[in-house]
């Protein structure tokens, strides 16, 4: 195959077959899909096994790639959950009659063709297809080579469900994994309305550097928690421990602790208990290093400049002691990736100043940054956390898979 | 000067001085600005004259560049109009208490740093500065070389008003016109949140090709009006004449007329009256050519393939005769720039099908496409018409100069 132009053309053509479907029809397709996934577990696991056989036994991708009966049931259930979410398309956003008699309406309509580039998780295939069908979009799935057989059987099942419902199977398409097609996809402004890279920072950087199609960046999270001097220490320790330990591999996990000098001793004396238990490796600035050394914390290193603004995605964090809110704000403005930022404090003025001054998708007062998540925010399944400012910021979920369209109805008005 | 990094840093720093201002303060600054513009008309016209002297007497840019007492008064008035528009920032978009007791709020907040790259119109300088101040954004203005002296005095006046109001003058900055700085601006993802190119298609294409900062494309308008066979001919003629003739140089002006075969004779017999009066040059397909030739229309040429999908921006248009709605939809899907598209018809089913099936920022039933405009749509001054689908579609006005931010307030919640 030389190019993917035919698939792109078929995607654009298919937008007309899905963007006018009513909400019940789309929900019904998803119910059928959940049923089909349950009915075909055996064949899916068989294909999944083919992919797994090509990986080394200790390859870290293995856990992301593997499907089993339990994960399949979770997938089917997530499809049913999406079916129950309100359809964002068709919503009337605005309606007025202008002085000249024109009826002016603004409606939410599907984006059109949504492309997702991702790595080895096959659940993305099902999640994205379900979200796109629910919102009336066509989707182009460009999964990783590692998951090829799994993705192929999943998309085959989705397309069969579409055909059974008398719909165009090109509403959901799997793209070939050959790298040379990525460039064509990234520049297909005539056919693709939005590209979402979902995966490693290097994937996101590559897409950002080469895409001509608009990109929703679901970027890295370099997340700070600032413990202000008035904070209740027990609460601060619990929040920080949760933000770091509960799931260190995700983007809303804590990376850097900022401490007011006045409470640094007390706080560190508290945090070393959960941190030592989980062997959290700490990169400490001079002042926190001195305290942690005195406390005999075993997993301690001196922080270098690169340890601030670093996304650890692991049981590691950096710590800095500073003097007051303004210093914390400056540190965050310099090193934050504008994802999720937190202050722990009992001073209402400082809480308010922090929340307003910090430029991030989500700002927290006295709670763990781990809550930045489509499900936790009540938005349902998410495609990622947007750290950019246009169109979507924070959890990028079903409600953002639409654009606006102005409907102007007249009876001969001229200007 | 080697680079504009200092100006970019100063812009980022200034966001904190403008993004927390309350609505009344921002409106007050604009009232002061309108007053300052009126008080300093003489010096502004003096500087404008310097720019004009550098142009040839018959340079078409002259009309875009020239200021006079009347235009200055219109500018001052437009600033006062922006002051009266509702402030989009700070608006509470969503508020709920989650089951775990977290207070979750979504608020509209200023985008941050807005850069606009434009050509010789100095009114853009004032319009953009006013819109950015109203919405709490910093703006970077990169105007054309032709308007250098004019833009310099205008920005000097704006900065004086900011200083008088005890504000950071870097909230509004003029960038140097040297071409080499454009590249730095387009890739300044650390400092600039959004870039809006405003001007010719080649400027927009250049920005789109080179920008790493998110771009709002205010693109070309290739606008069709489809006269369906059930249309009232008089009405269709009035709508088409208005869409083509009232202001041919703008993006919402008509480019192509699509005619059902059944009414082609009657419609063309009507449209030649206003078209001949204004000497509208017609690029006609075979069937419409035959009719217009028979009617003796003098400004007639045979259409080539390039005359469809062409934005004329002039008293020119192309015409195609076809057979029914589906052919019209296919033509529009192929050639449209997704700006403004119109159907003239008395058949309610066809009207509905057209409005839903056409993918464009604005779709019209029985009215001139010339209404696609921020002012006409009740949104106030606009920065351009967005033909893209993310963030803003259609008139890009004050209400879109914001992003979202999630505020999460807890009392120790962990996940």
Q: Which residues of B touch A389 (CB under 8 A)?
A: 111-112, 193-194, 214, 403
What interhelical angle do A41-53 and A23-39 show, nearest 10? 70
The number of beta carbons lying within 10 Å of the beta carbon of residue A234 is: 11
Q: B193: which 2 tokens? A: 């949140």
Neighbours of B349 (CB within 10 A): 9
Kind of pairing between the strands at A194-198 and A394-397: unpaired
At residue A345, the pLDDT reads 98
Task: Identify the structural domains of chain B with CATH numbers, from first to last.
Answer: 5-217+391-409 (3.40.605.10), 223-371 (3.40.309.10)
How many helices and strands in chain B, by DSSP H and E?
14, 16
DSSP state letter for A390? S
Residues 101-130 of A with CB under 8 A from B: 102, 104, 111-112
CA-nearest residue of chain A to B340? A406
pLDDT at B119 (0 to 100):
87
Q: Which of A111, A371, A405 sits opposite B415 (nearest CB)?
A: A371
Task: State how far Cα A304 lies from the chain centre.
Answer: 29
How does pLDDT run across A184-209, given as a tens digit for each residue?
999 998 899 999 998 887 888 899 88
Contacts of B109 (CB under 8 A, 6+ apart): B19, B89, B90, B136, B402, B403, B404, B405
Residues 200-219, chain A, touching B (beta carbon < 8 A)? 208-209, 212, 214, 216
A105-137 burial by CB neighbour count: b if 16+ within 10 A, else e? bbbbbbbbbbbbbbbbbbbbbbbbbbbbbbbbb
- Give pLDDT tens digits along chain A (415 positions): 789 999 999 999 999 899 989 999 999 999 999 999 999 999 999 999 999 999 988 887 888 899 999 999 999 999 999 999 999 999 999 999 999 999 999 999 999 999 999 988 899 999 999 999 999 999 999 999 999 999 999 999 999 999 999 999 999 999 999 888 999 999 998 899 999 998 887 888 899 888 889 888 887 899 999 999 999 999 999 999 999 999 998 899 999 999 999 999 999 999 999 999 999 999 999 999 999 999 999 999 999 999 999 999 999 999 999 999 999 999 999 999 999 999 999 999 999 999 999 999 999 999 999 999 998 998 988 888 998 899 999 999 999 999 999 999 999 999 9
Which B residues 61-90 touch A at CB under 8 Å? none
Q: How far A213 CA sits from the closest chain B CA (Å)?
A: 10
Residues in chain B within 8 Å Cβ distance of A410: 364-367
B249 touches chain A (CB under 8 A): no
Residue B383 near chain A (CB below 8 Å): no
Query: Which two structure tokens, joined as six digits, stand for A196?
Result: 């979402």
- Spell out which residues of chain B touch residue A243, defining contact as CB-CB under 8 Å: 414
By CA distance, what is A106's nearest residue in B? B362
Contact A363 B408 (CB under 8 A): yes
What are the strands of the beta sheet with A362-367, ordered from one edge?
A300-302, A281-284, A316-322, A254-260, A223-227, A340-344, A362-367, B402-413, B103-110, B92-97
Buried b (16+ CB within 10 A) or exposed e, B402-413: bbbbbbbbbebb
Nearest to B135 by CA among B15, B10, B272, B2: B15
pLDDT at B179: 87
pLDDT score, position B165: 97
Task: Kindly identify which residue of chain A lies nearest to residue B90, measuring between CA atoms.
Answer: A356
Q: Minimal CA–CA distance to B183: which of B173, B195, B193, B174?
A: B195
Contact assessment for residue A398 and residue A366, using Cβ atoms and an 8 Å cutoff: no
Mutation choice for A interface testing from B96, B214, B254, B367 by most A CBs within 10 A: B367
CB contact under 8 A, A364 and B411: no
- The partner residue sitting opposite A408, judged by closest CB among B112, B362, B389, is B362
The whole-angstrom separation of Cα A129 and Cα A35 is: 15
CA-to-CA distance for B358 and B325, rounded, in angstroms? Answer: 11
Interchain CB distance below 8 Å, B371 and A102: yes
With tokens 């008395």, the residue in question is B346
Question: Which residues in chain B are contacts of A135 at CB distance < 8 A?
Answer: none
Chain B nearest CA to A50, separation (Å): 36
pLDDT score of A202: 84
Is residue A404 helix, strand or coil?
Answer: strand
In this predicted structure, what is the pLDDT of residue A195? Answer: 95
Q: What is the pLDDT of residue B218?
A: 82
Residue B337 token pair: 């720039």
DSSP strands (E only) in A42-193: 92-97, 103-110, 113-118, 138-142, 172-174
Residue B336 forms contact with A (CB below 8 Å): no
pLDDT of B122 reads 92
Q: Which residue of B has its CA nearest to A237?
A: B412
Helices (H), A195-282: 201-210, 233-245, 261-277
- Whether the CB of B391 is below 8 Å from some CB of chain A: the reply is yes
Residues 6+ apart with CB under 8 A from A285: A303, A318, A319, A320, A321
Whether chain A has a CB inside 8 Å of the CB on B374: the answer is no
**What gap in Å lies between CA A222 and CA B198, rounded to an integer?**
35
Q: Distances from the Cα of A72 to the Cαs of A35, A79, A126, A132, A153, in angstroms? A: 11, 11, 10, 20, 13
How far is the C-alpha of A252 from the C-alpha of A3, rounded, in Å?
38
A112/B360 CB distance under 8 A: no
Residue of A nearest to B205 (CA): A212
Q: Please indicate if any CB of chain A lies within 8 Å of the CB of B330.
A: no
Choose the closest CB to B390 out of A214, A239, A355: A214
Whether residue A351 contacts residue A363, with contact meaning beta carbons closer than 8 Å, is answered with no
Q: How far apart are CA B153 and CA B141, in angstroms?
A: 13
Q: Distances in Å between the alpha carbon of A73 and those of A39, A41, B271?
A: 11, 9, 64
Secondary structure letter of residue B304 according to DSSP: P
Contact B368 A414 (CB under 8 A): yes
pLDDT digits (tens, 9 = 90+) for A127-137: 999 999 999 99
Q: Between residues 162 and 191 of chain A, which touch chain B (CB distance below 8 Å)?
A: none
Q: CA end-to-end span of chain A, whole Å?
A: 52
**What are the E-state strand segments in B263-315?**
281-284, 300-302
Q: Is the dihedral of CA A91, A97, A98, A104 positive or negative?
A: positive
| Total CB pairs under 8 A between chain A and B | 185
What pLDDT does A198 receive?
87
A20 at B interface, C-beta within 8 A? yes
Q: What is the pLDDT along chain B (415 residues), one digit of tens a residue?
A: 789 999 999 999 999 899 989 999 999 999 999 999 999 999 999 999 999 999 988 887 888 899 999 999 999 999 999 999 999 999 999 999 999 999 999 999 999 999 999 988 899 999 999 999 999 999 999 999 999 999 999 999 999 999 999 999 999 999 999 888 999 999 998 899 999 998 887 888 899 888 889 888 887 899 999 999 999 999 999 999 999 999 998 899 999 999 999 999 999 999 999 999 999 999 999 999 999 999 999 999 999 999 999 999 999 999 999 999 999 999 999 999 999 999 999 999 999 999 999 999 999 999 999 999 998 998 988 888 998 899 999 999 999 999 999 999 999 999 9
Q: Are B114 and B134 in contact (CB under 8 A)?
A: no
Instruction: Name the minimum distance, in Å, from the CA of A149 to any CA of chain B.
Output: 33
Give B303→chain A minimum CA distance, Å: 24
Question: What is the token pair recorded at A119?
Answer: 């790595």
**Chain B residues lying within 8 Å of A238, measured CB to CB:** 412, 414
Share above pLDDT 70 across residues of chain A, in percent, rounded to a whole number: 100
- CB-based burial label for A58 (10 Å; 0-12, 13-18, 19+): exposed
Nearest CA to A23 out of A134, A115, A101 is that of A134
């Amino acid at each position: 195959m030389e190019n993917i132009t035919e698939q792109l053309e078929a995607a654009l053509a298919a937008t007309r077959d899905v963007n006018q479907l009513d909400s019940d029809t789309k929900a019904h397709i998803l119910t059928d899909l959940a049923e089909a996934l349950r009915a075909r577990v055996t064949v899916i696991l068989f294909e999944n096994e083919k992919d797994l056989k090509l990986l080394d036994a200790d390859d870290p991708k293995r856990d992301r790639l593997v499907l089993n009966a339990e994960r399949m049931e979770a997938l089917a259930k997530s499809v049913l959950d999406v079916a129950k979410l309100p359809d964002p398309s068709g919503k009337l956003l605005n309606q007025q009659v202008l002085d000249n008699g024109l009826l002016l309406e603004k409606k939410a309509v599907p984006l059109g063709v949504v492309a997702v580039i991702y790595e080895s998780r096959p659940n993305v295939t099902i999640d994205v297809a379900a979200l796109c069908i629910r919102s009336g979009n066509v989707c182009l799935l460009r999964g990783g080579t590692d998951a090829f057989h799994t993705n192929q059987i999943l998309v085959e099942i989705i397309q069969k469900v579409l055909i059974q419902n008398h719909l165009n199977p090109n509403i959901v398409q799997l793209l070939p994994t050959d790298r040379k097609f990525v460039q064509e996809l990234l520049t297909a402004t005539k056919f693709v309305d939005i590209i979402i890279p979902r995966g490693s920072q290097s994937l996101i950087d590559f897409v950002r550097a080469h895409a001509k199609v608009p990109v929703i960046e679901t970027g890295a999270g370099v997340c700070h928690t600032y413990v202000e001097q008035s904070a209740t220490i027990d609460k601060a320790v619990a929040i920080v421990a949760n933000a770091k330990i509960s799931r260190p591999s995700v983007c809303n996990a804590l990376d850097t602790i900022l401490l007011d000098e006045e409470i640094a001793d007390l706080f560190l004396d508290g945090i070393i208990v959960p941190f030592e238990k989980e062997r959290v490796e700490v990169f400490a600035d001079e002042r926190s290093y001195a305290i942690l050394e005195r406390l005999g914390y075993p997993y301690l290193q001196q922080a270098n400049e690169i340890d601030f603004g670093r996304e650890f995605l692991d049981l590691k964090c950096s710590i800095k002691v500073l003097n007051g809110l303004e210093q914390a704000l400056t540190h965050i403005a310099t090193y934050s990736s504008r994802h999720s930022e937190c202050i722990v404090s009992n001073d209402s003025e400082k809480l308010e100043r922090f929340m307003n001054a910090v430029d991030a998708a989500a700002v927290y007062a006295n709670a763990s940054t781990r809550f930045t998540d489509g499900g936790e925010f009540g938005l349902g399944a998410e495609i990622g956390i947007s750290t950019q400012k246009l169109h979507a910021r924070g959890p990028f979920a079903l409600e953002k898979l639409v654009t606006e369209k102005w409907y102007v109805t007249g009876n001969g008005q001229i200007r």
